[in-house]
Amino acid sequence: MNEELQNEAVSALKSIITSVTEAKEFVIGELPEVINQLLLWELSISIVENLICIIIMIISTLTIKWFWVPPKAGKSSMNYRWESKTKAHKDLKDAQWWQDSAGCAISVIGTILLVIVLIVSLTCTNLVWLKIWLAPKIFLIEYAADLVK
């Protein structure tokens, strides 16, 4: 009876060792593909985040420029559009833009808010995509270190 238990234990251990070896071979065989997919995923996420931040920065910059366009004389600052820059510069002498307190307040407040949005967008941009492109091994080492933490 004791021999039968030992034989069964030995066969169970051999099957466990065989299963672990097969699992190890499978993981080693699939590891390059997994690493490649991880790099592509992180690269894609980083590029999308950067594109969103760049779009926000462009919109903020254009909006700030729009806020600071002076109006024609006698018109509200919010209804003014540039028709031609040379004509607009001639009209600037007669414009009472800074006396239009509502337009001035909206322009100042809008500019302050959009500068804040610009600063936040600049801090949100990350260069993970550049790190993956130039030094993928360093990125993988840092990624593994973050997983261990």
- Per residue in 20-33, pLDDT (tens digit) is 888 888 778 888 88
Torsion, Cα of 92, 94, 98, 100 (10° steps)? -120
pLDDT (mean) for 110-119: 79
Judge contact between 72 and 96, C-beta under 8 A.
no
Q: What burial letters (b/e) apply to 14-51, b meaning 16+ CB within 10 Å?
A: eeeeeeeeeeeeeeeeeeeeeeeeebeebbeebeeebe
**Span 26-50, average pLDDT:** 87
Q: What is the mean pLDDT of residues 66-82?
A: 54
CA angle 30, 36, 37 (to 5 degrees): 90
Domain boundaries in the chain? 38-148
pLDDT at 12 over 80: yes
Other Cβ atoms closer than 10 A to 70: 19
Averaged confidence pLDDT in the chain: 75
Confidence at 104, pLDDT banded by 50, 70, 90:
low
Residue with the two structure tokens 């933490």: 149
- Cβ–Cβ < 8 Å for 76, 130: no
Tell me the residue type at 23: A
**Confidence tier at 4 by pLDDT (50, 70, 90):** confident
